[in-house]
A and B are shown apart, each in its own frame.
Chain A
Amino acid sequence: MRLAAATAVLNDVPAALRENPAVYSIERPATFSQTVSEAAAFAIEAAQLVDLDGREPALFCITGTVGSSLHYFDKAREPSSGRLLAPGFARRSRRVHPFTVLLALQNQVAAELSLYFDWKGPCSSSIDSAAAFVDLLPNIQSSLEQRPALVVMSSAAGRSEDRSWVVYQSHRQRIVSGAVALLFEPNGRLGDVRHPTAPGSALRPDQDLFEDDLVAPQLEAGLAILWSMGRGLERARFEIGPAPRHAQFEWSRE
């Protein structure tokens, strides 16, 4: 599949990407608010940098953690025990902000993108699958028959319990939040992305590309492509996803 545009907006840019003109550093995305999650806000920032020339894409959202909303539940905890489901929860639960349910939905990244850009085309919203990009390549290919395809990977796992989870899982302390936007179209000129046609060794972004203390949940595939482009590589193969599901894809300049 032909890549037409690639860009990333991150709160912490890996050293290997700091000179890449398509990678932007941003501490707090502009639209991040009580009703728009951090991941959705990053996704909007990244998508804004892609020139669709007025066309409406098929949207593929690959979403990790959208950002902690745990603090909204603090007001509903029973004061003496700290428990949520202690006697009186029905009354205390009314203190939970009404928008909490919306912030808990990971498809809100897709929804906010659609709202912000007035995109009404087809949309696939996948979550919590590190190898999702690889397994969505056939679906992206299918959509190209009718319109360009915009893949938006997003994650905001740097706070509260989300941070603790990522540290537990990865044993790394630097957690990259942000979004990567990749535009595919039949005449894309930046390169080609595909499944490998034969077995072979591959680079793992989390081990081979970035610093040892850094992890970029859900963003690895996109950052790997940007890394390849920034280095001027002719071809590269990457493997993403934790055991037992190691999924590979190839990028090439031709």
Chain B
Amino acid sequence: MPEQLSEVALPRGLLLALEAGRRLDLDDGPVYGLVVGLSNLRADPTYLEHVLAHRDEPDAMGAVEYFRDDRVLDLVASQVAASGPRIRIDSACASGSDALIVACQWIEQGYCEDVVVIAAASMLDPVGLALFRNIQALNEEDDLGASRPFDRRRRGFVMGEGAAGLWLSGRRHETVRGWVCGYGQSMNAFKLTDMPSDLGAMENACRSALGEIEDLAFISAHGTSTLTNDVTETRLYKSLLGEERAYEVPVSALKSMSGHCLGASSLIEIVVSLEALHAGRVSPTINLLEPDSECDLDYVANQARSVRGNFALSNAFAFGGHNSSLLLGREAPR
């Protein structure tokens, strides 16, 4: 850890990542790999103010070194004592789940046995809000009911910020909070900020994750509360599960409560889903008071409830067309 850390600016997203790492209860001993889902920090206001004033001054760049390149990974690796391989993933809103998929493949391929996966994001500042406002993606209503996935009154996503972390291991442990039983990825090859009408790529990612599993307790939706996403996701689940079965599987949208935490959201939702599986109780989609007629599945409206089943499907459909799907299990896969 650098001695003069207090004298350099640290981006808020990095601070959130460090906090997530600090809170992980890791054993001493293992050689940990590290995968961090953390998008570009160079829209941070502190960074921008500095480089706008000093853009042509190399000697002035030391003040913002923790906004760029390997410094970010180094600091997080130092926080969690990860001395193994390390990499940083940026697939926008799918960063967290894609980071977990990288970690899974490392373990499957025998590259390492233990991997810390952290995802963090913070653009909850005037610049971040302005950037998303300028592409008309935000709902800036100032109340707790503003994030309303699948509700006909939805007007875009509500920005959140946050971080999540977990320890993925290929070894046996006495205490296990859950399992990653499958995963799938694809690209839409469509507009960067829109979703295609052809759901084939999205469905492929989900099918790769789902495999032959039918014992779904619930689906953790991407559920951003945008007009397009929520309708598209509804169509997707009907196609994926079949018209009849789609109505039987609860679909929970955590962003109704947390807002959209951008690159951190998918890993936050995975952690919550693992706990929900463990408890046999799925979290609700709140603010769902006037359902959209085109969104007519069981979204666990407004109240958590008990569920049966050993698996949950967690999905992220990101800017840029990244589709990332993970199958989480309460028990070891057979």
Contact = CB atoms under 8 A, between A and B. Distances in A.
Interface string A129-147: 1111011111101100000
A138 B115 CA distance: 14
A50 interface: no
Interface centre among A93, A127, A131 (most CB of B within 10 A): A127
B190 A115 contact: yes
Interface string A69-113: 010011011000011110001100110111111101111101100
Given A70-B51, A130-B70, A139-B102, A101 B43 contact: yes
B305 interface: no
Contacts of B321: 111, 114-115
A169 B201 CA distance: 41
Contact of B192 (A85, A108, A121): A108
Contacts of A63: 90
A74 B52 contact: yes
A247 B85 contact: yes
A196 interface: no
Interface string A119-161: 1111111111111101111110110000000000000000011
Interface in B9-58: 39-40, 42-43, 45, 48-49, 51-58
A125 B188 contact: no
A82 to B, nearest CB: 6
A120 B201 contact: yes
Contact of A139 (B43, B69, B106, B200): B106
Contacts of A127: 39-40, 88-90
Interface in B261-303: none
- Chain B contact-residue range equals 35 or more
A160 B57 CA distance: 9
Contacts of A100: 131, 134
B79 interface: no
A251 B221 CA distance: 43
22 contacts: A64-B69, A89-B130, A104-B43, A106-B39, A107-B91, A107-B92, A110-B320, A122-B205, A123-B186, A126-B87, A127-B88, A128-B70, A138-B110, A139-B105, A139-B106, A142-B108, A160-B55, A161-B55, A164-B51, A168-B59, A242-B70, A245-B73
Interface of B: 39-40, 42-43, 45, 48-49, 51-62, 65, 68-70, 72-74, 77, 85-92, 98, 101-102, 105-106, 108-111, 126-127, 130-135, 184-193, 200-201, 204-205, 318-322
Given A70-B52, A114-B320, A136-B102, 18 more contacts: A73-B52, A85-B45, A85-B49, A101-B132, A104-B40, A104-B43, A107-B318, A114-B187, A114-B188, A115-B191, A120-B201, A124-B91, A125-B89, A160-B51, A161-B54, A161-B56, A164-B55, A244-B74
